[in-house]
Structure formats: C-alpha cells, structure tokens
Amino acid sequence: MTAPVPVTVLTGFLGSGKTTLLNRLLRDPELADTVVIVNEFGAVGLDHLLVEASGEGIVELSDGCICCTVRGDLVDTLADLVDRFQTGRLRAMRRVVVETTGLADPTPILASLMGHPVLVQHYALDGVVALVDAQSGRRTLRERAEARRQIVCADRLVLTKTDLVADTDDLVHALRHLNARAPLVEVDVACVSKLFGCGLMDPETRQADIARWLGRDAVGHEACEDPHCGHDHGGDAHSHGNVTSLSLRHDGPMSLGDAQAFVGLLTERMGAGLLRMKAVVWVREDPSCPLVLHGVRTYLHPPAMLAAWPAGEAPRTAFVLIGEGLDAALARDLFAAFTAAPRIDTPDRAALLDNPLALASRGF
C-alpha cells in the first residue's frame, strides 16, 4: 500500500439498521475494492454474492468487495489484511468499513487505529458514520450513554426507518444538540456510497475539504440548518448534558512546537474525557501546507501535512474538541496562551496568576 487506506467506522445502536445498510453497501458497484469488516457473517446475506473463500473469516464477493469477520481483536484483523496484501493473497484495498456492535462505544476502535504503531502506517481514519433509528432513537439517546457517544463522535449522521414515523423533529432536535456539525441524511434517499468518504479528502475530487472535515461552524459557518432546532449555534461551544462540543479558531499561524505543546497539555489535562479532537493548523514554519491533527481520548494519530491549502480556503487554525465533562474554559485559555490571544473579560491580575501554562508547569 503506497498510501494509507481510509477506514470508515460504521456505528449505531441495536436495531438502527447497520446490517441492512451493509447489505446495500455490498451490492453497490461504486464501492468495489472495499473491505467490509463485520462482527459475524450470519447477519449479512452473502450467499448470492459469494465467489470463493480466500481464508478463514474472509470471503471475496462478485462485486469486488471483500467481507471478513472480526477474528478476536480488531487490530489482529486489520493487521492480517495488511499481511495478506503484502504477500499477494489479497488484492488492493481502496477502503475499509468497520461495523461496530450496537452496544459499542466507538472511541476504543478509533484509539486502536490511531495508537497502534503498525496500523497507522497502513490505515487512516476517514470518518465515523452513525445510524439512528427514527422509531426508537429519541428514547435510546435518553437512556443509553453508548448511543450518545456514537452520535457525538460521528462525522455523518444517518436517519433510518423514517418511513415508519410521521415526525422526526424531536429526534433531529436531540441529535443537533449532541452533534451540531455532522451532516444529517436519510438513508432511504441517500446513495449508499455517498455515506462514506466523510473524511478530509473528498472522495470524488480527491481534494482536501477542511470545512467538511472539521464541521462548517468550526471555520466560521453555521452547521445546523434545522429550522426547528432552537439551539444557539452562533458561539463556539454546544453542550447536551455532560457532553460538550467546542470550536477553537485562530486566524494567524502557530509554530509547530506550540501546536504540539497545546495538544500535549490538552490531552494530559482532559484525559479520557476528550472523546475526539480534530484540527487543521496553519503552521508558521511552512504556511503553504496545512497540518492535520486528530485524536481520540489520549491517543493521537501521527501528524500529517497536506500538499496545499484547498482552493478557496483561507489559511487558518481550527480545533474541534468533543468531550464528556470537558473544561471549555481551560481549553480556551490554553489555546489563547499558545496563540498569544487576549483573554476576553479577564482582569489583568487574574490573567497573570491563573495562566493555564503556569498552572500546568507547577504540576511537573
């Protein structure tokens, strides 16, 4: 593999329709050369698609897809796919789709992709697609923390079973409070292949789309177009219960060292409560190329430099933080300290004595 293979994580609570979507995915010619990792074959109808078995737990399909089950740990399954490709037992992969179990918190899966020294050389997280059952989704979000984590970590939200309900306004309202950035579509009207490729690179143009990857409000635009939302998206933070989504923006460049130090202190102070972080940094040392950073909990994906800023995109620095119990004030203050920005409405004495860098340094 000359370039990392994009990995899309497909998540959603029990009964949200992941298996139905996977069956459609496996029939979509636009997703040929896609590897689909499922929990078990039994739930996915493969009989009429099966061509030959290429090894225990792996089958080749007539439409060019490869389907495999998680054999023990997901890391082992992904590593086995790399070994099969390198030894000629598996043809090239253009994309990997990983289906989680309905009760899964997706963050450990994301951490595996970002924190494993071998996997990061061969795979790159492209995005998280979360399915939501229009019939029972509202109740599920109220009662199940796993379902809420699936939503807040998502890069794309997909409503299923909308034909079985008369009104989804309340559900959309709840989803927008949890995740104001992710595009929301109905699976019944969406081309299945378009649900994937929600990461930094546009699947059709192969060009970087920073606004789409970070969420449009992270770069100064409204993300939620729902007229019934009733939620204030004009600021830089959204919250729902204990879950907070925060955007940090800076119109000037940052030094590479400052960006790394900020992320390091942020992950140290926030710990496991930082469910997800995505960032594009205007680097002072090389202003022509954006630096991409992303992580989950305390795991950070190796930094990557894009070839150039996308056409029409002004250089900027933008961070998106999503967490449980996230200390938004601390995150803002740390960011202000590293970008030399003033702390608004803070008395001078407090700004000196409560400097977050000074507080952090006292603990070492």
Out of 99-113, 190-204, 219-233, 282-296, give the one with best mean pLDDT. Answer: 282-296
What is d(CA 219, CA 362) in angstroms, rounded to the nearest whole number?
A: 34
**Residue 231 has what pLDDT?**
34
pTM of structure:
0.71
Percent of the chain's residues with pLDDT above 70: 72
Task: For residue 13, count other CB atoms closer than 10 A to its CB.
Answer: 24
**Domain range annotation of the chain:** 5-199, 226-362
Overall average pLDDT of the 176-193 stretch = 79
Supply φ then ψ for residue 360, to 5 degrees: -65, -40
Distances (CA, A) of 199 to 26, 42, 181, 315: 21, 30, 13, 19
> Could you check whether 5-199 and 226-362 share the same CATH topology?
no
pLDDT tens profile 209-256: 777 777 655 554 433 333 333 333 334 555 555 667 788 999 889 999
pLDDT tens profile 126-177: 889 999 999 889 998 988 888 888 898 888 999 988 888 888 999 999 998 8
Q: Tokens 């190329």 correspond to what residue? A: 289
Say yes or no: domain 226-362 is CATH 3.60.20.10. no
Q: What is the CATH number of domain 5-199?
A: 3.40.50.300
**Residue 227 has what pLDDT?**
32
